[in-house]
Amino acid sequence: MELASKLPDTDEGKAIRRQLCKSGTSVGANLEEADGSLTLNDFIYKVDIAFKESKETRYWLRLIIDRRLLKKDVVVPHLNECVELIKILSTIIYKCLQ
C-alpha cells in the first residue's frame, strides 16, 4: 500500500493503484483466514487464493515498471518480495498435497 500511494494521480495510476491494493491486501487476508482453517482442504484452498493473488500483484508491479510509472529501483524490492512469497506459497501447497 505504501508503494501504491506513490503512483501518479493519473487515470492509469489510479487504476493500477486500486488493483495493486486489492490483490496485495487479499494475500494477507487469505493467509490470515488460512491460519484458522479447520480442515487441510480449507487451508489449501485459502493458501491457493493467496498464491493466485500474489501472482496478480506481481503482474501489477511489472506493469508499473513497464509503464515507467515509478522508478524501477523503487519497485524492484517489492517485486522481489512478491516473487519470494509466490515461491513460499507454492511450496506450502505442494507439500500439503503430498
Per-residue pLDDT, 88? 97
The amino acid present at 7, given as its one-letter code, is L
Per-residue pLDDT, 91? 97
Q: How much is the pTM?
A: 0.92
User: Residue 77 and residue 34: Cα distance in Å, rounded?
Assistant: 26
- Domains in the chain (CATH in brackets) are 11-97 (1.20.1440.60)
Per-residue pLDDT, 36? 87
Q: In order along the chain (98 residues), what is the average pLDDT of each group of 10 residues?
A: 95 97 96 92 96 98 98 97 97 95
Give the CA dihedral 9, 12, 17, 22, nearest 10 degrees. 150
Q: Residue 84 half-sphere exposure, CB side, CA atoms within 13 Å? A: 6
